[in-house]
C-alpha cells in the first residue's frame, strides 16, 4: 500500500498557530439549534473494501457511522462524503468494493440515501482512490453517480439558505519520478473547473456557500493537496466569500485559512461568520469512525470538531 494519504507533510514548513483571534461568540454546538436551524454531516475517506479483501472492517466502520447518524433525534438535512469511498475503484475487484460501499446505503432514482424512505440524501465526490488503479472513474460512474459525468462530476445543491459546490480534485499525480510518497491530486482545469466554480458563485444568491472536494487546497507544507490551479481556486473562494472548503484525503482533522494559518482543533466549534474562508480537512471514517457536523443557523454557520465513535 502506498503512503500518499496521510503522512507526506513538509516538516520544514512549520505551522503558524492562531492564538489571538476570538474563537466564536457561540459557546457550543447546541447554542445553534432552534426550530428552523439545520445541520449536515461530512464523512470522508471510508475506503470500503469487499469483505474478501479486509473481512469487511472498513465497511463496518462506515455502517457504524451511518447507523449512528440515523439514530440522532434531530436528523441531518443530508450527508456529504468527500471521496475515497473505496480503497480502490478500478476493475472487477473495484466494482466489488463499490458494491460493498452501496450495501450501507439505499439508492432511488439515481440518488443515494441513508434509508429506504429517502429522508437523508447522501451526496458524494470522488477521491484519488476511487480512480485507482487505472486512473478512471468507470465504476464510480456506473455504480455510484451517473448523474454528473458530462459535467466532470461537478454539481450544485441548494438547501434553504446554503449552496454547496461539489467538485472533483482529480486522480493520483506523482510530483517526482518514483515519488509515490508524494502523491498529489491532479487538480482542477482552469477553463472547465475553476471558471465553472466562478460562474456558479457569481450567480449564487445564497448567503452561505461551501465548496466540497477530496483533496485539500491548503495543508502544512506543499504536499497532499491538488496541484493544478490551486492559487486561482483560492482566489475565487476568497473573492466570493465562500465560508468553508471541506476536504478529506489527509486522514487528519485540520483547519487553515488561505495564508496557511492553522486553527487548533480545541478552538472549535467556530462561528464561521467571524472568520475568512476556512479550508477544512476532516478525519477519515476508516481511521476511527470519524465524522463532522456543520450547523446552519440563520446568518451563521457553525463548524464543529470531528466526532468519532468507539466500537
Ligand atoms: Fe483516503
Q: Which residues pair with 300 in a beta bridge?
A: 297
158 Cα–ligand 1 center, Å: 27
33 Cα–ligand 1 center, Å: 32
160 Cα–ligand 1 center, Å: 30
Q: Quick check: 124 and 117 in contact, CB under 8 A?
A: no
- Whose CA is closest to 85, among 98, 70, 103? 98
Q: How far apart are the C-alpha atoms of 220 and 187, rounded to whole Å?
A: 18
Sequence spans of domains, the chain: 16-26+35-308
Q: How far apart are the C-alpha atoms of 15 and 24, rounded to whole Å?
A: 22
161 Cα–ligand 1 center, Å: 30
129 Cα–ligand 1 center, Å: 7
**Residue the block writes with cell 436528523:** 75
Q: Using the 8-state DSSP alphabet, how is residue 192 labeled?
A: I
82 Cα–ligand 1 center, Å: 10
Q: Quick check: 294 and 303 in contact, CB under 8 A?
A: yes
pLDDT along the chain (311 residues), means of 10: 39 40 40 74 98 97 98 97 98 98 97 96 98 96 97 97 97 78 86 96 97 97 90 98 98 97 95 95 97 95 96 83
Q: What pTM, to 2 d.p., does this model score?
A: 0.90
91 Cα–ligand 1 center, Å: 19
199: which residues sit within 8 A by CB, 6+ positions away?
none
How long is the chain?
A: 311
Burial zone of 77 (CB within 10 Å; 0-12 exposed, 13-18 middle, 19+ buried):
middle
- pLDDT value of position 33: 56
44 Cα–ligand 1 center, Å: 8
47 Cα–ligand 1 center, Å: 7
**C-alpha cell read off for 148:** 454528473
61 Cα–ligand 1 center, Å: 14
Q: How far apart are the C-alpha atoms of 287 and 303, rounded to whole Å?
A: 21
Q: Using the 8-state DSSP alphabet, how is residue 255 labeled?
A: E
Architecture of domain 16-26+35-308: 4-Layer Sandwich (3.60)
126 Cα–ligand 1 center, Å: 11
Q: Which residues pair with 261 in a beta bridge?
A: 16
215 Cα–ligand 1 center, Å: 9
178: which residues sit within 8 A by CB, 6+ positions away?
none
Q: Quick check: 90 and 136 in contact, CB under 8 A?
A: yes
233 Cα–ligand 1 center, Å: 22
290 Cα–ligand 1 center, Å: 13
206 Cα–ligand 1 center, Å: 31
284 Cα–ligand 1 center, Å: 7
307 Cα–ligand 1 center, Å: 17
Distances (CA, A) of 238 to 166, 242, 252, 258, 275: 17, 6, 24, 8, 11
**Residue the block writes with cell 471510508:** 46
273: which residues sit within 8 A by CB, 6+ positions away?
299, 300, 301
5 Cα–ligand 1 center, Å: 5
35 Cα–ligand 1 center, Å: 36
- Whose CA is closest to 293, among 244, 225, 233? 244
Amino acid at each position: 500500500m502506498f503512503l500518499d494519504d496521510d503522512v507526506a507533510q513538509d516538516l520544514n514548513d512549520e505551522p503558524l498557530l492562531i492564538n489571538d483571534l476570538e474563537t466564536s461568540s457561540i459557546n457550543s454546538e447546541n447554542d445553534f439549534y432552534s426550530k428552523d436551524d439545520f445541520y449536515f454531516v461530512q464523512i470522508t475517506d471510508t475506503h470500503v473494501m469487499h469483505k474478501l479483501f479486509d473481512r469487511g472492517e472498513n465497511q463496518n466502520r462506515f455502517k457504524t457511522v451511518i447507523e449512528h447518524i440515523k439514530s440522532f433525534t434531530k436528523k441531518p438535512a443530508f450527508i456529504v462524503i468527500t471521496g475515497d469511498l473505496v480503497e480502490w475503484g478500478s476493475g472487477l475487484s473495484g466494482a466489488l468494493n463499490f458494491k460493498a460501499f452501496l450495501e450501507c446505503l439505499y439508492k432511488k432514482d439515481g440518488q443515494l440515501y441513508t434509508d429506504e424512505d429517502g429522508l437523508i440524501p447522501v451526496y458524494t465526490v470522488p477521491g484519488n482512490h476511487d480512480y485507482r488503479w487505472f486512473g478512471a472513474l468507470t465504476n464510480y460512474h456506473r455504480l455510484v453517480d451517473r448523474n454528473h459525468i458530462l459535467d466532470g462530476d461537478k454539481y450544485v445543491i441548494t438547501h434553504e439558505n446554503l449552496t454547496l459546490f461539489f467538485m472533483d480534485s482529480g486522480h493520483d499525480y506523482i510530483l517526482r519520478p518514483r515519488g509515490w510518497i508524494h502523491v498529489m491530486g491532479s487538480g482542477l482545469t482552469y477553463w472547465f473547473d475553476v471558471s465553472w466554480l466562478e460562474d456558479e458563485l457569481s450567480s449564487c444568491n445564497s448567503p452561505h456557500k461551501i465548496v466540497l472536494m477530496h483533496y485539500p487546497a491548503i495543508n502544512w507544507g506543499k504536499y497532499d493537496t491538488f496541484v493544478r490551479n490551486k492559487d486561482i481556486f483560492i482566489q475565487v473562494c476568497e473573492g466570493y466569500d465562500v465560508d468553508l472548503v471541506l476536504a478529506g484525503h489527509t486522514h487528519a482533522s485540520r483547519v487553515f485559512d488561505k495564508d496557511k494559518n492553522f486553527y487548533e482543533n480545541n478552538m472549535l466549534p467556530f462561528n464561521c461568520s467571524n472568520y475568512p474562508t476556512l479550508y477544512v480537512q476532516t478525519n477519515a471514517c476508516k481511521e476511527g469512525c470519524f465524522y463532522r457536523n456543520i450547523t446552519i443557523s440563520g446568518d451563521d454557520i457553525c463548524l464543529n470538531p470531528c466526532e468519532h465513535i468507539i466500537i
